[in-house]
Chain A
Amino acid sequence: MQTAPPHTRPALPHLPWLLSRAAAPLPLAPVSVMLSALTRKLVQAHPAMLRRLGPHADRHVLIDPTDLPFALLMQPRTAQVRACRRNRLPAHDARIAGPLSAFLAMLHGAEDGDALFFSRDLTIEGDTEAVLALRNAIDDAELDLTETIATAAGPMGPGLRRALARAERISGLALHRMETTGDWP
């Protein structure tokens, strides 16, 4: 058997400690409202996502970005997102945990979900089928957070777009959709 040496990709960026700490005292209610509104926009703009999810759209999935001070409980059908502290995690059907950068990379098609899982950047617990369905539906939707946020911001859009592009360069987080040509290594 021939075994190729494992090629390693540059490690995914973790949020700087200072930024994590800065986010810690954030009140959760406004975060929930903001993220729910964003998720609603994404779901409305991509109706095929719910069709792909089928019955899995009703599952409660806990998105747990381990470098943020809170986790997110999400239900695709209602587009409800609730930020919650880790010491008071609500009931959920499945949990995906990993650095914020891994979630954003997967969301934007910069990284393959399976590869992130093989490398343990992401871990899954609970209803694996619901997680797979969600991942596949999101992958097909070709989401773009920067565009969605910028569009929603109306006249502030162009400014936000520039700010997010700058944030992407500095943080290493994937904040816009990867194009099929050019963006990948």
Chain B
Amino acid sequence: MMELVCPAGTPAALRAAVEAGAHAIYCGFADETNARNFPGLNFSREELAEGVAFAHARGAKVLVAINTFPRAGAEPLWHRALADAETAGADAVILADLGLLAHTAEHHPNLRRHLSVQAAAANPDAINLYAQAFGVRRVVLPRVLSVQEIAAINREIDVETEVFVFGGLCVMAEGRCSLSSYATGRSPNMNGVCSPASHVAYAEEGPELAARLGGFTIHRTPKGAPAPYPTLCKGCFTSAEQTGHIFEDPVSLDATQLIPALARAGVSALKIEGRQRSRAYVAQVVRSFRAAVEAQAAGQPLPESALARLTEGQAATTGAYAKTWR
């Protein structure tokens, strides 16, 4: 069966994911070492140790994301996170930074290393480089690849691949985007945040709700229409005579129906996005996907996804997995 890798932003979400059938949970420490450094979210050292114990007792793994790029002059903060993840009994760490990968390979050789999507390793040459140089065992593929491309990659590499199947969709190559810091000064790579809430302002202006990020208007929605969070790349903008979602519509990824194709493409693990979401989201999405991977493994038809209302814009796309997305 394909491994189902599920998000947890809080200990409660971790328990919900395990009980809903997650094979593995990924989570991070409550600081800038992880790419979901949101207010009120993430794990203390004690919470991680308890979470690992809870998961292991029920046969699930815990993967710790330490996937921002350490700040120059402050690397010890990231190095401590690695050591503490190992102490807590993490089954793997998810890393993006070259220096941090080198440090882990040298100082924590027995700690399994996964390559974060933030490293944007999008072809066999790059993946093999990470595998050879740092002993990376699994690569989370960037969300810019089609299913055929994923299949071709798997034919040329010896490490496992993990792909996103549900949740928020980055339209840019991850780990290589500074749109957020251009508008707000805070970025995924440096601070673990994208379009941070601290820089979001909503204002009811006449019949519309305006959402601004760092002072830039990201969209205006009529009262009562679905309101996307002002994530910069999903905003509504104007170029010459055209107005619209120039980068991406406010939709999110749902690749449930592609699970058999992804299995044929050699993918080992399916990842659900959403460490910033609630335990209600986690439980519902995990249960739905657990049923889907079980159906796939048994060669049965996949259950219809009923998750649309949890998604942004309440609409879903298969994203780059279909080549026409480009």
Contact = CB atoms under 8 A, between A and B. Distances in A.
Q: State yes or no: do A and B touch (Cβ within 8 Å).
A: yes
Interface size class of B (residues with CB under 8 A): 35 or more
A67 B204 CA distance: 20
Interface string A4-36: 111111000000000000000000000000000
Interface stretch (A78-86, A132-140, A144-152, A158-166): A132-140
A1 B196 contact: no
A51 to B, nearest CB: 8
A132 B308 contact: no
Contacts of A134: 40
A1 B279 contact: no
Contact of A56 (B39, B227, B317): B39
Select the residue from B196, B307, B316, B324 with max chain A CB neighbours within 10 A: B316
Nearest to B319: A1
Contacts of B20: 180-181
B224 A114 contact: no
Given A7-B308, A133-B40, A184-B284, A140 B12 contact: yes
A115 B279 CA distance: 12
Interface in B122-145: none
Given A3-B316, A112-B277, 19 more contacts: A4-B254, A4-B315, A7-B309, A7-B314, A112-B310, A114-B310, A117-B229, A118-B227, A120-B227, A123-B209, A125-B203, A128-B201, A132-B276, A140-B40, A141-B12, A180-B16, A180-B20, A180-B283, A184-B287
22 contacts: A1-B324, A4-B315, A4-B316, A6-B314, A8-B309, A53-B40, A111-B278, A111-B280, A112-B310, A113-B277, A115-B281, A117-B227, A125-B204, A128-B198, A131-B197, A132-B38, A134-B40, A136-B40, A136-B276, A139-B10, A140-B12, A180-B19
